[in-house]
Amino acid sequence: MGSVLVADRWQDVYLGTEEDLVPVATLALSKQTSINDETHFGFHYMAPQGDFQLAMPKQCCDLIPHDTTVELLAEYMATTLANKVPESHFKVIAFEGIGKG
């Protein structure tokens, strides 16, 4: 997972947190929606902003083991790269964007 590979892998992809995975059938979806766990990932979590539920096609997702904060994503990339190429040294620099913190 070199930097180019990460960019390619995560381009136009929803990064889902494994701890937020739920069966699609447990989500409050429209009755006319006909999706299932074979084709979609279901996500459900509570945050200070409210109750969030989402179903995403599996081919549009990449799952990671923890929350998707910029700090945790940077650590995840550094650890993954170090594990894949242990003889190399990596420095991951991440930021949220202009004016984001």
Residue 3 pLDDT greater than 60, yes or no = no
> Are 47 and 96 contacting, i.e. CB atoms less than 8 angstroms apart?
no
Q: Which pLDDT score, from 0 to 100, does residue 14 have?
A: 93
- Confirm if 6 and 77 have CB atoms less than 8 A apart: yes
Dump pLDDT digits (tens) for 27-62.
998 888 889 999 999 999 999 999 999 999 999 999
Per-residue pLDDT band at 97 (split at 50, 70, 90): confident
* pTM for the predicted model, two decimal places: 0.77
Stretch among 8-12, 22-26, 42-46, 52-56 having the lowest mean pLDDT: 8-12
Under the phi-then-psi rule, with left for phi > 0, alpha for psi from -120 to 50, and beta for the rest, what region is 97? left
Q: Report d(CA 18, CA 66) in Å as an integer.
A: 7
Please report the pLDDT score of residue 92 as a whole number: 85
Query: Strand, coil or helix: what is 51?
Result: strand
As a whole-number percent, the residues of the chain with pLDDT over 90 amount to 50
- pLDDT at position 2 over 70: no
